[in-house]
């Protein structure tokens, strides 16, 4: 009994250290984060390998990223205008989550379709991701109405801790279950069960969001064509926003370029099974979970922009992990990749924690949703095109292991360039060089 009490006390102390006392809204947003990240993590860790089991090739795998982003670009600006016109943006969040739940379930059921199965799957996944994008847009517009600026870092840090724990556990569980199931038909059934569970988690989140109420709701704004044109001109005149968007777009181009290439390397050349694939995600999330407290303190001390420099630089280590894994003897490839990938993610928490706050610093609150929509359209263009471009680069270089290694070398140098551009932007910000009105941290 004494040992049990000591163990419980130690667990309580650990929990207190990991989740310190913060703003009460942090607990509500942590539940929102738990449910949405649980769903997205479970779905995201299933897409590629389920698609392969449905007959997908390298080209189809790149379309998993391409199609949703193209559709998102078509609807985001109208969605931003719609969000600005709403008195209660929470309804938009709930509707988007119910839509995502419906389409993810259909994606799982696409295995029952005997003709053009992979294309039905890609279509349903694309529509589900459009719904998730609608949720993200509404969330970004609604969050400042709920949480004041002085509390945002604490609330986002707390929420990020929870989402990282979920992102740590979910791939491990799903990958372990899939690895334990024998036979392709049995694995396909497990994938389908996972997609149904994704739908349940999203619907639960839609219902829970009713508990999060705006404390400073924005005045609904129905934007006419003239006002839309004025909003666009306002963004063009907003030099801090233009510079931020340009550097952020280049960073995302370098980030998105190798997304599909990792899966090709892991499956085709390193021979990783479902469980080992899940360990890749788990290692990255563990690195973020262990360091997020440190980076949150750096945000409080130095502002939210400077720590992002280390996050971008750290991402340059991800292609290095694959380069090393493809270079060492075969038996060492997987351990080397897992360890190097873990190290590369030690600063990645700054991206999840700080990038959204960086955007908030440079947009005009008058056109917040529309500004987010326009900015996000450019990022989604990168997300749509660059995974396909990465695969095209790999094939152009030869479509073999040396070609994949050379593609990652190119990505590495591009991310170093993105780091230098981000740092240059901060320097220009501090000096005020031709950037009237750009706040310095």
Q: Which fold has domain 23-431?
A: Growth Hormone; Chain: A; (1.20.1250)
The pTM of this model reads 0.71
Query: Is the pLDDT at 435 greater than 50, yes or no?
Result: no
pLDDT at 277: 85
Q: What is the pLDDT of residues 189-241, one digit of tens each?
A: 999 999 999 999 999 999 998 888 877 766 666 667 777 787 778 778 888 88
Q: Kindly state the tokens that stand for 378.
A: 């450019």
d(C-alpha 294, C-alpha 304), whole Å: 13
Q: What is the pLDDT of residues 377-432, one digit of tens each?
A: 888 888 888 988 999 999 999 999 999 999 999 999 999 999 999 999 988 877 76
Q: pLDDT: is 271 or 90 the higher one?
A: 271
The domain locations on the chain are: 23-431
- DSSP character for 363? S
Which SS3 state, helix, strand or coil, does residue 441 take? coil
User: Using 50, 70 and 90 to split pLDDT, how confident is the model at 9?
Assistant: very low
Q: Kindly state the tokens that stand for 223.
A: 């934007």
Distance linking the first and last C-alpha atoms of the chain: 53
């Amino acid at each position: 009994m004494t040992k049990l009490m000591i163990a419980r006390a130690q667990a309580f102390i650990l929990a207190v250290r990991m989740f310190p006392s913060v703003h009460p809204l942090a607990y509500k947003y942590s539940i929102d984060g738990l449910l949405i990240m649980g769903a997205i993590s479970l779905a995201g860790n299933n897409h590629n390998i389920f698609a392969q089991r449905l007959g997908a090739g390298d080209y189809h795998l790149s379309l998993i990223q391409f199609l949703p982003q193209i559709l998102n670009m078509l609807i985001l600006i109208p969605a931003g205008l719609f969000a600005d016109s709403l008195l209660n943006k929470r309804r938009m969040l709930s509707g988007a989550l119910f839509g995502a739940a419906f389409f993810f379930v259909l994606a799982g059921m696409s295995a029952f379709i005997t003709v053009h199965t992979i294309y039905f799957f890609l279509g349903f996944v694309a529509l589900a991701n459009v719904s998730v994008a609608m949720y993200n847009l509404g969330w970004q517009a609604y969050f400042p109405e709920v949480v004041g600026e002085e509390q945002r870092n604490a609330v986002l840090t707390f929420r990020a801790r929870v989402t990282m724990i979920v992102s740590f556990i979910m791939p491990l569980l799903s990958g372990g279950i899939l690895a334990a199931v024998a036979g392709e038909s049995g694995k396909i059934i497990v994938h389908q069960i996972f997609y149904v569970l994704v739908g349940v988690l999203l619907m639960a989140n839609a219902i829970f969001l009713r508990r999060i109420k705006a404390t400073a709701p924005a005045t609904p704004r129905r934007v006419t064509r003239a006002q839309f044109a004025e909003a666009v001109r306002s963004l063009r005149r907003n030099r801090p926003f233009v510079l931020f968007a340009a550097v952020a777009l280049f960073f995302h181009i370098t980030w998105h370029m190798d997304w599909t290439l990792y899966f090709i390397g892991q499956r085709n050349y390193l021979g990783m099974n479902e469980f080992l694939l899940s360990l890749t995600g788990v290692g990255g999330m563990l690195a973020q979970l262990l360091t997020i407290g440190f980076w949150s303190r750096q945000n409080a001390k130095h502002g939210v922009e400077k720590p992002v420099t280390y996050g971008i630089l750290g991402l340059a280590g991800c292609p290095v992990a694959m380069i090393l894994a493809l270079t060492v003897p075969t038996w060492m490839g997987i351990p080397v990749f897992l360890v190097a990938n873990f190290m590369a993610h030690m600063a990645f928490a700054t991206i999840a924690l700080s990038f959204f706050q960086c955007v908030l610093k440079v947009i005009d609150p008058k056109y917040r949703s529309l500004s987010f929509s326009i900015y996000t359209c450019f990022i989604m263009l990168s997300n749509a095109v660059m995974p396909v471009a990465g695969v095209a680069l790999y094939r152009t270089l030869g479509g073999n292991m040396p070609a994949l290694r050379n593609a990652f070398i190119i990505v590495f140098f591009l991310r170093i360039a993105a780091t230098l551009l981000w740092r240059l932007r901060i320097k220009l910000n501090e000096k005020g060089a031709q950037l009237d009105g750009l706040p310095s941290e």
